[in-house]
Amino acid sequence: MNEYLNPGQTAEILGVSVDTLRFWRYSGKHTKQIPAHKHISRRVFYKRSDVERFAETMYCPA
């Protein structure tokens, strides 16, 4: 299951909290860039390639 990340792993890569990630999911923010993949028993996973691509573009340099 290396291709998919749980919310904790995803939040760590993105530098946000799991609560922020959950807020994004429920509000629809960034769902085109990092769509959540839901699996059996309501567990949520994110595709690693989507997360890594979004992490590279989510912050612009100051």
Neighbours of 22 (CB within 10 A): 14
Residue 60: predicted pLDDT:
54
Residue 46: predicted pLDDT:
92
Q: What would be the CATH architecture of the domain defined by 4-57?
A: Orthogonal Bundle (1.10)
pLDDT in tens, 3-61: 999 999 999 999 999 999 999 999 988 888 888 887 778 889 999 999 999 998 876 55
Q: Which residues contact 25 (CB under 8 A, 6 or more apart)?
A: 31, 36, 44
| pTM recorded for the entire structure | 0.82
4-5: strand order across its sheet: 4-5, 44-47, 36-38
Enumerate the domain spans of the chain. Answer: 4-57
Residue 62: predicted pLDDT:
44
